[in-house]
């Protein structure tokens, strides 16, 4: 029996590298497409492709059964400094990919979106039916991507699993991430400056997200489905800093900084997911506690 062939764009990135490791243990063949391969282990062979290059993409996606789309610019903070680039790369890149998939008859696609599409939600437990009100250029690009997928579903019958990860963390995460910045301050025994101590997020360990993507690939593609991927539990920035201090067996002063990571009026104070849908339909729940995930993440920082 022929193996399922899965193409992964953005395979060299933070999430993509962990997903690649997950599929290495599965009875599938993979095509790894990315612009960089710094995080991928030596056993994986990758292909460098510009996500906006139609012909090159078509050449390497030929014969794929499923495409998992991770490629793109993914920094909320940077999207305020480079909004045009963020919108161009994310939306034009996705549009190119979808056009290639249509031409090749690839009709099963897993699209990685973001909780940033929600903006300031109307509920403390955000479901997939929440009205989308993005407050960043990055969030706007993800809403546009989701709408592109819906158009291709309606027009051409292509089937989509849209995943909306919340705050993903783990080994290989961005050095600009809050967790890495707190770690650096604690390691140097410096005061910790936070934009908003009460800012609450729903953190999900990257391996748990990778397993959610795997389950989504094996699940029946029934049309157009959207799933939150998160723990369903919130932790505020001050609690996060205190937990990292505890793991590193140190203490220090935690301050609020007047210098925001993003324009203050666009800050989302509380964003925690309702995960009932993914638990019911994909039989997925986050398996890694915040404590265990942070311990693994901090150990990876110490090995860098």
Q: What is the enclosing helix (H) or strand (E) of 20?
A: helix 14-24
**pLDDT reported for residue 49:** 86
The answer to whether the pTM exceeds 0.85 is yes
Q: Over 90: is that where the pLDDT of 289 sits?
A: yes
Strands (E) in the chain, as ranges, are: 4-9, 28-34, 46-48, 66-69, 108-112, 159-165, 167-169, 192-194, 200-205, 224-229, 234-236, 254-256, 270-271
State pLDDT tens for residues 182-224.
Answer: 999 999 999 999 988 999 999 999 999 999 999 999 998 999 9
300 vs 304: CA distance, rounded Å: 7
Q: What are the CA-CA distances from residue 201 to residues 20, 187, 231, 271, 273 (Å)?
A: 26, 23, 10, 5, 9
Q: Over 90: is that where the pLDDT of 138 sits?
A: yes
The residues with which 254 forms a beta bridge, in sequence order, are 192
For the chain, the C-alpha Rg in angstroms (whole number) is 19
Residue 162's pLDDT band (boundaries 50, 70, 90)?
Answer: very high
Q: Over 50: is that where the pLDDT of 59 sits?
A: yes
Who's near 71: CB < 8 A, 6+ residues apart?
9, 10, 13, 33, 34, 35, 51, 93, 97
State pLDDT tens for residues 112-136.
Answer: 999 999 999 999 999 999 999 999 9
Closest CA to 215 of 12, 19, 64, 31: 19
Residue 43's pLDDT band (boundaries 50, 70, 90)?
Answer: very low
State pLDDT tens for residues 172-190.
Answer: 999 999 999 999 999 999 9
Domain range 4-170+204-230+273-286, CATH class? alpha beta
Contact 96, 38 (CB under 8 A): no
State residue 169 phi and psi, 5-degree precision: -140, 165
**pLDDT reported for residue 140:** 98
Q: Over 70: is that where the pLDDT of 267 sits?
A: yes
**pLDDT reported for residue 260:** 62
Residue 278's pLDDT band (boundaries 50, 70, 90)?
Answer: very high
Mean residue pLDDT across the chain: 93
Q: Over 70: is that where the pLDDT of 37 sits?
A: no
Residue 47's pLDDT band (boundaries 50, 70, 90)?
Answer: confident
225 vs 164: CA distance, rounded Å: 11
Collapsed DSSP state (helix, strand, coil) of residue 126: strand
Residues 1-14, mean pLDDT to the nearest whole number: 90
**pLDDT reported for residue 259:** 62
Residues 276-293, mean pLDDT to the nearest whole number: 98
Q: Locate the domains of the chain by residue range.
A: 4-170+204-230+273-286
Residue 42's pLDDT band (boundaries 50, 70, 90)?
Answer: very low
């Amino acid at each position: 029996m022929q193996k399922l062939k899965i193409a992964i764009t953005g395979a060299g990135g933070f999430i993509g590298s962990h997903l690649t490791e997950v599929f290495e243990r599965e009875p599938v063949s993979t095509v790894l497409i990315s612009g960089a391969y710094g995080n991928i282990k030596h056993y994986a062979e990758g292909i460098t492709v510009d996500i906006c290059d139609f012909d090159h993409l078509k050449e390497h996606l030929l014969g794929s059964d499923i495409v998992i789309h991770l490629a793109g610019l993914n920094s909320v903070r940077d999207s305020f400094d480079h909004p045009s680039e963020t919108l161009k790369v994310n939306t034009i890149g996705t549009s190119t990919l979808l056009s290639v998939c249509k031409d090749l008859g690839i009709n099963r696609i897993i699209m990685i979106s973001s909780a940033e599409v929600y903006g300031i939600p109307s509920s403390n437990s955000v479901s997939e039916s929440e009205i989308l009100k993005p407050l960043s250029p990055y969030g706007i690009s993800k809403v546009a991507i989701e709408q592109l997928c819906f158009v291709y579903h309606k027009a051409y019958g292509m089937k989509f699993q849209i995943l909306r990860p919340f705050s993903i963390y783990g080994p290989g995460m961005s050095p600009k991430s809050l967790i890495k910045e707190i770690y650096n301050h604690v390691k140097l025994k410096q005061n910790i400056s936070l934009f908003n101590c009460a800012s609450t997020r729903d953190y999900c360990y990257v391996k748990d997200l990778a397993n959610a993507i795997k389950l989504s690939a094996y699940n029946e593609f029934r049309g157009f489905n959207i799933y939150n991927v998160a723990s369903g539990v919130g932790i505020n920035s001050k609690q996060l800093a205190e937990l990292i201090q505890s793991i590193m067996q140190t203490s220090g002063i935690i301050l609020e900084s007047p210098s925001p990571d993003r324009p203050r009026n666009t800050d989302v104070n509380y964003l925690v997911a309702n995960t009932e849908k993914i638990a019911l339909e994909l039989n997925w729940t986050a398996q890694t506690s915040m404590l265990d995930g942070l311990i693994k993440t901090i150990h990876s920082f110490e090995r860098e």
